[in-house]
Amino acid sequence: MFSRGVWLKTLTLLAVETGIIFSVVLLGLYLRFDVNITAILFQQSGIYKIALTTFIAQFIFYLFDLYELSKPRLDRELLSDLVRAAGAVILVLSAIFGLQPTFLFGQNTNGVPVVAMALALALMTCWRLAFHWLLRHPRLCERILIVGTDNLAIEVAREAMQRRDLGYNIVGFAADDPKLVGQSLFNPKVIGVIADLNRLVDEEKVDRVVVALQDRRGNLPVDQLLKIRLEGSAAIEEGTSLYEKLTGKISVDMLRPSWIIFSGGSKRTAVWNTVRRIFNVVMAIIAIALSLPIAIITAIAIKLDSPGPIFYTQERVGKNGRIFKIIKFRSMRQDAEKDGLPQWSSEFDPRITRVGNFIRKTRIDELPQFINILRGEMSIVGPRAERLFFVKQLTENIPFYSQRHLVEPGLTGWAQVNYGYGSTIGDAIQKLQYDLYYIKHVSLLFDIWIMFKSIKTILFGYGR
């Protein structure tokens, strides 16, 4: 998901579409006023204003996941998202220029942004269709041969084929059992046996060999893989590694205990911890200052809506199993657990109050957790802090669940922005897979990316 190829394709999209929007707005101004381009750009600071217009348009495209190449999307879904995003851009820009008609050029430019975005939509639709056609064209895709036929191999193939924009073309599977040759496991067929791996790579013009054997004892074709590696005839990658790139999570079913031992991305030095701590404190102070008016209004609304305290505290499990008290705005009735037994919360939980329903969807209920961050009990980004009762239950039922506590729990996290409400053990497994991916790849840049993605989560009320 964060491989160099995906970033390169995303940056290509950004660069080309930045050029399209910038050029179209500039052209619209030039055609309307018939003045020198240099005067528009520099003498009247037009370059900054057009850049702001371009940023607004592309930020809205981002909110509609138009720069998320790893998201499975059909052509009709792509067109639908483009039209909806462009419509949102036109509405926002119309509002801005309706309130401030002289924003761009010092003269009344009302209508220029709308016409420009309509033209930009036509150009971007053609560009997008061409771009995605190129990404999905079989001759331009990376040809992949999957070694193995078990669940890991099938899951890797399924995820790769769902994300056609990533440019993968599964040519087939190599099986250990000759009887499987010619059979269709998912969509690609078994095209040969592992013993003929070198021949299959040459005949099928394979670019990458993905080893997806869950049981490698006696099955791993070491000599053939070494020959492929030394000759440079194809790249070689583990199936679990490709699965991570495709989905942004680590499958518990595919996980081996060595996954974190040999993971370079999980190394956290004293300097790294200090930098991250400073980052968390600074962000928490800024957030508290900016959200103070919202917090005051929320406190008043909670008090008027239902009897009980404004805040509630609850014991949660933190880093290395440390117990701490999390602080939140109360969003449920005071007697939510009157029988004393912990209960899973759900999206349409009847215990939630009217104000509580709103503040949970907008994440306002979690604003007091910035105090936990200042105390060092939490981080801005990390796995969700769970209650001890559920941690004990889930640790007994889910392998590797305790690995979540290798890092501080977070106000937001990779699981929260990728998965919705969870109220079952199955949901907990899905979220754990995202948490494990985060722990393996934790970095300050990754934290910033998750914070940026959290904006969509808050605006669209997805996840928890």
* pLDDT interval class at 134 (50, 70, 90): confident
Radius of gyration of the chain (CA): 26
pLDDT at 322 over 80: yes
The pLDDT value recorded for residue 145 is: 94
The pLDDT tens digits for 148-158 are: 988 889 999 99
The pLDDT value recorded for residue 46 is: 66
Token digits of residue 170: 């599964």
* pLDDT interval class at 267 (50, 70, 90): low
- Do 211 and 220 contact (CB within 8 A), yes or no? yes
- Do 420 and 461 contact (CB within 8 A), yes or no? no
> Which of 10-24, 29-43, 89-103, 432-446 shows the lowest per-residue confidence on average (mean pLDDT)?
29-43
> Which of 76-90, 169-183, 237-251 shows the lowest per-residue confidence on average (mean pLDDT)?
76-90
The pLDDT tens digits for 28-67 are: 766 666 656 666 666 656 677 778 888 888 888 888 888 8
The pLDDT value recorded for residue 106 is: 53
- Do 414 and 453 contact (CB within 8 A), yes or no? no
The one-letter amino acid code at 116 reads A
Q: What are the C-alpha distances in Å from 361 to residues 260, 294, 378, 409, 459?
A: 34, 15, 21, 20, 9
* pLDDT interval class at 218 (50, 70, 90): low
The pLDDT tens digits for 395-411 are: 888 888 888 898 999 99
The pLDDT value recorded for residue 112 is: 60
In this prediction, residues 457-464 reach a mean pLDDT of 62
Centroid of chain to Cα 370: 23
Q: How much is the pTM?
A: 0.77
In this prediction, residues 343-363 reach a mean pLDDT of 78
Q: What are the C-alpha distances in Å from 66 to residues 22, 80, 126, 140, 212?
A: 18, 11, 14, 22, 31
Cα dihedral across residues 20, 21, 22, 23: positive or negative: positive
| 60: nearest Cα among 70, 69, 52 | 52
In this prediction, residues 160-170 reach a mean pLDDT of 85
- Which CATH number among 3.40.50.720, 3.30.470.30, 3.30.43.10, 3.40.50.150 corresponds to the domain 142-247? 3.40.50.720
In terms of pLDDT, which residue wins out, 383 or 459?
383
The pLDDT value recorded for residue 35 is: 59
Max intra-chain CA distance, the chain:
76
The pLDDT value recorded for residue 292 is: 95
> Which of 94-103, 289-298, 394-403 shows the lowest per-residue confidence on average (mean pLDDT)?
94-103
List phi, psi (to 5°) of 65: 65, 25
In this prediction, residues 10-39 reach a mean pLDDT of 76
The pLDDT value recorded for residue 43 is: 60
pLDDT at 297 over 90: yes
In this prediction, residues 111-133 reach a mean pLDDT of 76
- Residues 6 or more apart whose CB falls under 8 angstroms from that of 81 comprise 64, 65, 66, 73
- Do 434 and 248 contact (CB within 8 A), yes or no? yes
Q: What percentage of the chain carries pLDDT values higher than 90? A: 26
Average pLDDT over all residues of the chain: 82
* pLDDT interval class at 117 (50, 70, 90): low
In this prediction, residues 437-442 reach a mean pLDDT of 87
In this prediction, residues 3-12 reach a mean pLDDT of 72
Q: For the chain, where do the domains classified as CATH 3.40.50.720 start and end? A: 142-247
In this prediction, residues 230-238 reach a mean pLDDT of 88
pLDDT at 413 over 60: yes
The pLDDT value recorded for residue 2 is: 46
Token digits of residue 425: 């053990």
The one-letter amino acid code at 262 reads F
